[in-house]
Structure 1
């Protein structure tokens, strides 16, 4: 082969083809994140600003944050809504060997008296109950970080580029899920604490703790116990809210059998 042909050889791309496993890894990182690093453009300077923020997710998997209007990152995303969010906690050993994902987002402030605000408030406090001390202060506001695309690093040699459709949970009957979820979560926590414990400790292999259900969606359940978070994925995504109850019953039977 001539030197000329060698020079025209295209370099190998480090990006792998998106598959179901990379989608699940990405969604899992987002759903289980308690906090993340928010990167925004500082208001008035154009300089990058990175801040640690506490996180929860909306029913469709969109990250949500609660911020004070007195903070620098709030003024940043109000002036320039385009921002990025890095999530993924390092474990033992080399932190670069653990999965993380950079989310490219657009921050949308939620009106305080809206139905969306009520839903986000409930889901956020289920994940961060201590925030109830200040969640209703006049200078605090919720933002949905609307997902545009993402860069997933699943560890060495596992890089993926994902699009919005790879990251969000399809709701179908969005209104139905939003109406049903609040009552279903309350019912499970009040009347079926034993089943929730089985979900977390048997099916998710979580440590023994006082587990509660913080949220649910067509693809799974979010379980919390203090700082611990587990995600229980359904075998198949549910098309309608009415399909939830038999799935929860079957999961409880499976956990007891194990």
Structure 2
């Protein structure tokens, strides 16, 4: 049951791309401080955020890196009956130059508009290193989980995620459009594939991010190709 709950929790984390970051208030000691933040997942499967150095939540994290990220299923009519996930984490500032470049390359795929204010203002990348997870899959489906995150086997791999994304966006726009239609996603703008992991892929449509699951798990680029072809032929 815990493995199944962890899978559902991870899929919720993948499907959403924004949550509520709660930090320990520096200005009001003893009180939690909540902020809405967008995120994507790094190569380890941990949330990656980009926040301003002058923001209150950044000052809070600098004083105490313990935090939580609440992610809830979007568009829910009854929030009590739908999935929500709370990640208890230690926030870690990304400082290594190579790691910053890798974080930027990944994050800007999901949120390209953020590259402008990142270059003008003082923003930094932080990763939320998991400590424990609390997943509620609906009424009565409550779980404490120690292992939810799953490393992306294609991140940083030569001919891996980045190469597959470039190939799909350049040569298979029709297939991507078919995935959008097949999943009944809003076709308000041209879809762009921005992320691939072992369990599915992310599409960016306008400012919105959508994750679609593969028919089965994929452990190699060849398996990803077969899964994408199968989905295109449905």
TM class by smaller structure? 0.7 to 0.9
In structure 2, the CA distance between the partners of 1:95 and 1:243, relative to structure 1 (3 Å rule), is closer
In structure 2, the CA distance between the partners of 1:47 and 1:95, relative to structure 1 (3 Å rule), is same
1:99 aligns with 2:83: yes
Write the distance in 2 (CA, Å) between the matches of 1:31 and 1:121: 19
Structure-1-length-normalised TM-score = 0.80
1:168 aligns with 2:149: yes
Larger radius of gyration between Structure 1 and Structure 2 = 1
SS of 1:176's equivalent in the other structure is coil
Structure-2-length-normalised TM-score = 0.87
Match of 1:71 in 2: 55
Aligned residue-pair number: 232
SS of 2:21's equivalent in the other structure is strand
Q: Aligned Cα RMSD in Å?
A: 2.3
Structure 1 unaligned runs (5+)? 1-16
- Taking the TM superposition and a 5 Å limit, the aligned residue runs for 1:49-198 are 49-111=33-95, 113-114=97-98, 116-137=99-120, 139-164=122-147, 167-171=148-152, 175-176=156-157, 180-198=160-178
Q: Give CA-to-partner distance per residue, 1:2-54, whole Å, 9 cap, x none.
A: xxxxxxxxxxxxxxx4242x223211221122311111112363532111112
Structure 2 unaligned runs (5+)? none
Q: Give CA-to-partner distance per residue, 1:130-165, whole Å, 9 cap, x none.
A: 21221224511001111222111122122122222x
In structure 2, the CA distance between the partners of 1:59 and 1:221, relative to structure 1 (3 Å rule), is farther
Q: CA deviation at 1:228?
A: 3.3
SS of 1:43's equivalent in the other structure is coil
